[in-house]
Amino acid sequence: MTRGRAHLANLDLNLLVALRELIRERNVTRAAERIGITQPAASAALSRLRRHFGDELLVRGRGGYVPTPLAAQLDEQVEVVCAALERLFATGKEFNPETSTREFTLLMADYTVAVLGERFSRLVAEQAPRIGLHIRLVGESLIADATESIRLIDGVISPPVNRFRIPEISSMELFQDRWVCLVSADSPLPDAPDLDDLAGLDWVVPYHRDQGPPSAAPIPRQLALLGVRPRIAIRVESYRAVPHFLIGTNRIALLQERLATQFADGAQLRMIDPPGHLEPVVEEFWWHRNFDDDPAHRWLRETLTAAAEPLRS
């Protein structure tokens, strides 16, 4: 532990900023402008980074520099680390949304983006025009280590999952939805199907696991509550992708009503109430309790609550 701390103390944290901007811009001159240093200073920083990692990081390609495989691997890590450092040093300070340049990093599914993203984006633009948002789309790998994921970002919007129910994590409910079945408009399935009607159909299911521990995604649980053992034709890592694999087929999917409505407004898809009783769709915002009293994070929570208000009616 002592050796690790001494090593960290000897690091120049300015190199993290240089690394982030060099990978973002793939251009030494533009990176220097973004950091506010001279071009020779940015070149020197790149040389130091190359020595530290034992890798070129940026190599010349057609039309300019391209990142090496190691730089591509470092890309997301340096974004997360820099964002965490910015939050760390901003915590406890007075927060003025009209002038702040803080960037918030949020993890959410594309379903949440589809139903909440536009209103949230507009409120941020109106109240905090210089605030940055980094929206990362959720996946099983990102949810697997909930504590560490939330510690390094500003929060996660997701349904309640046991992995998040630990003392270090706070939460608040944003909105609810309900489940509907979605089929192609020309599907022979009746508008009020029973379980026998669903038997034998091919399903399109997002975030489904064939092996390993149970998925944190809610749809497999809802299918189990229906008593359906789906024959899965297509698995996708996206909610918004599901409707595209239903049109013109006899497949079926279970989807959140607000998202399904966006696709079923046309003539190609049809919504059907599922038989039986399903749990409501509940979307909550989860964050590490280190941010409970942070004025900036409090503003973020208030803004998310305001964005979700129309969804609670």
pLDDT tens, position by position, 212-231: 444 556 888 888 888 888 88
pLDDT over 70 at 277, yes or no: yes
Hey, which of 117-126, 157-166, 198-207, 258-267 has the most confident mean pLDDT? Answer: 117-126
More confident residue, 204 or 225: 204
Q: What is the pLDDT of residues 231-264, one digit of tens each?
A: 899 999 999 999 999 999 999 999 999 999 999 8
The dihedral built from the CA positions of residue 286, 287, 292 and 297, taken in this order, carries a sign that is negative
Query: Phi, psi at residue 176, to the nearest 5°?
Result: -125, 160
Query: Phi, psi at residue 278, to the nearest 5°?
Result: -115, 155
Environment class of 115 (CB within 10 Å of its CB; exposed 0-12, middle 13-18, buried 19+): buried
pLDDT over 70 at 126, yes or no: yes
Q: What is the pTM of this model?
A: 0.73
User: In 3D, which of 283, 282, 262, 260 has the Cα closest to residue 272?
Assistant: 260
> What is the C-alpha separation between 31 and 20, in angstroms, rounded?
9
pLDDT of residue 2: 41
Q: What is the mean pLDDT of residues 185-192?
A: 91
Q: What is the mean pLDDT of residues 57-76?
A: 84
> What is the C-alpha separation between 296 and 289, in angstroms, rounded?
14
Q: What pLDDT band is residue 7 in, cutting at 50, 70 and 90?
A: low
Q: What is the mean pLDDT of residues 46-72?
A: 87
- Between helix 28-35 and helix 14-25 the angle, nearest 10°, is 130
Buried b (16+ CB within 10 A) or exposed e, 131-158: bebebbebeeeebeebeebbeebbbbbb
Q: What is the mean pLDDT of residues 37-65?
A: 87
pLDDT of residue 87: 67
> What is the C-alpha separation between 120 and 107, in angstroms, rounded?
14
pLDDT of residue 60: 85
pLDDT of residue 121: 97
pLDDT over 80 at 91, yes or no: no
Q: What pLDDT band is residue 175 in, cutting at 50, 70 and 90?
A: very high
